[in-house]
């Protein structure tokens, strides 16, 4: 039974465990996989960077002032992405690198802050 290259789909000749017709196809295949993985990471990094930019802007312009969750969302903040969080009792502090936000219990108002 013929086997086919995972990259170019041509018939493979040689060892029974070969997956690619040659090194060029093997490299193309793996480089494409790595690029797809990098694109996912780049999307996450870009989202966190955008969140941080929004928090930095709010902190510098309205330090110690609560902001409505809807305002953050309208600015493009994505609540699904952050770098880490602190929990202190019922309070949750969510960070995007060095800028963070404190959510009230209903997570409707948010106070931006930065690490000292």
Task: In angstroms, give the least distance from the CB of 82 to Zn ion.
Answer: 42
Q: Give the C-alpha separation, 76 to 85, whole Å.
A: 20
Tell which one of 3, 5, 75, 109 touches Zn ion (CB under 5 A): 5
Task: In angstroms, give the least distance from the CB of 37 to Zn ion.
Answer: 21
Burial of 106 (0-12, 13-18, 19+ CB in 10 A): exposed
Interface with Zn ion in residues 22-61 (CB under 5 A):
25
- The residues with which 110 forms a beta bridge, in sequence order, are 67, 103
* Largest Cα span, the chain: 70
Q: Which among 3-11, 60-68, 79-87, 88-96 is the span making contact with Zn ion, rule CB under 5 A?
A: 3-11
Tell which one of 8, 28, 56, 97 touches Zn ion (CB under 5 A): 8
Instruction: Report the chain's terminal Cα–Cα distance, integer Å.
Output: 66
Task: In angstroms, give the least distance from the CB of 58 to Zn ion.
Answer: 52
């Amino acid at each position: 039974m013929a086997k086919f290259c995972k990259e170019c789909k041509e018939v493979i000749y040689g060892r029974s465990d070969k997956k690619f017709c040659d090194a060029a196809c093997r490299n193309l295949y793996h480089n494409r996989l790595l690029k797809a993985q990098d694109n996912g990471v780049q999307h996450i990094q870009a989202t966190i960077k955008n969140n941080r930019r929004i928090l930095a802007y709010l902190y510098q312009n309205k330090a110690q002032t609560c902001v409505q969750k809807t305002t953050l969302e309208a600015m493009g903040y994505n609540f699904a992405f952050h770098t880490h969080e602190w929990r202190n009792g019922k309070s949750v502090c969510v960070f995007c690198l060095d800028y963070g936000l404190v959510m009230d219990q209903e997570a409707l108002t948010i106070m931006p802050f930065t690490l000292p």
